Every structure is written in structure tokens, then in C-alpha cells.
């Protein structure tokens, strides 16, 4: 499974970089900057949690870190929705990033579920 793990690592890093670029392009209004900083924090944390999970001490620790990544990704989706609904960034500009966040959540949830179902050794 190293290929799948590597691919997901790259996707998570690419997601973080897209979030960073979006933040840099946000208007300098207070609202945009406050929401943007929240997105910047959560969007870059997803990959960090996943990277930490690769060195988990146990299956329970792995699952916990993957669930942390999932929560950060869900939070990122929330901030993306706020940027759109507050008319700070047009929906069409956010749609690909929001879609990727949704796909990443689905992948992370699947990893956590499969890991919980694994028999302990």
C-alpha cells in the first residue's frame, strides 16, 4: 500500500498548498482575513495529522490521528462555505477546493473505519 499512502500524502500537501494560495489571494478586509486564517490553520493541519498517523504508536493512536485529520478537513469545508456564503470569494472559484475537501474526508473516514475493523495483533 505504499503507493496509495504516497498518493494521499501528495494530495494532502497539494490541498494545503491550494489553501495557502487562496489565503494569499483573499481581500484584506477583516472578515476575509479572520475566516482565511481559520481556513489556513485547518487546511494545512489535515496533512500534518496524516503525516503524524504514519508514525502512530498503536492502531488506536493511528485511528485517533486520522480522525483528527478528518475533523480538520471538515472544518476546512466549513470555512470554505463561509467564504462563499459571505460573498468573499465566488462559488466557482471555491468549488474545486471544496470538492477536493469532500473527497479527502471520504478517504480519511474510510481509512479510519477500516483501521477500526482491523483485528488487534
In the chain, what are the domains? 2-117 (1.20.1440.60)
**What pLDDT is recorded for position 70?**
98
Give the residue with greater pLDDT, 121 vs 61.
61
Q: What is the pLDDT of residues 38-88, one digit of tens each?
A: 999 999 999 999 999 999 999 999 999 999 999 999 999 999 999 999 999
Can you tell me the distance from the alpha carbon of 27 to that of 31, in angstroms, rounded to the nearest whole number?
Answer: 9
Q: Is the pLDDT of residue 7 over 80?
A: yes
The whole-number pLDDT of residue 6 equals: 73
Q: Which residues does 81 contact at the CB level (< 8 Å), separation at least 6? A: 98
CB-CB contact of 89 with 22 (8 Å): yes
Compute CA distances 114 → 7, 43, 106, whole Å.
18, 24, 12
Separation of alpha carbons 33 and 14, rounded Å = 21
C-alpha cell read off for 55: 508514525
Tell me, what DSSP letter sits at residue 69? Answer: H
The pTM score is 0.90
Q: What is the DSSP letter of 55?
A: T
d(CA 94, CA 99): 8
Amino acid at each position: 500500500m505504499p503507493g496509495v499512502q504516497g498518493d494521499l500524502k501528495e494530495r494532502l500537501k497539494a490541498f494545503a498548498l491550494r489553501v495557502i494560495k487562496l489565503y494569499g489571494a483573499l481581500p484584506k478586509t477583516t472578515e476575509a482575513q479572520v475566516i482565511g486564517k481559520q481556513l489556513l490553520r485547518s487546511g494545512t493541519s489535515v496533512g500534518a495529522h496524516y503525516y503524524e498517523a504514519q508514525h502512530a504508536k498503536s492502531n488506536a493512536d493511528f485511528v485517533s490521528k486520522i480522525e483528527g485529520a478528518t475533523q480538520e478537513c471538515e472544518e476546512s469545508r466549513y470555512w470554505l462555505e463561509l467564504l462563499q456564503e459571505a460573498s468573499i470569494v465566488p462559488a466557482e472559484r471555491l468549488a474545486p477546493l471544496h470538492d477536493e475537501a469532500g473527497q479527502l474526508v471520504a478517504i480519511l473516514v474510510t481509512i479510519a473505519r477500516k483501521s477500526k475493523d482491523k483485528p488487534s495483533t
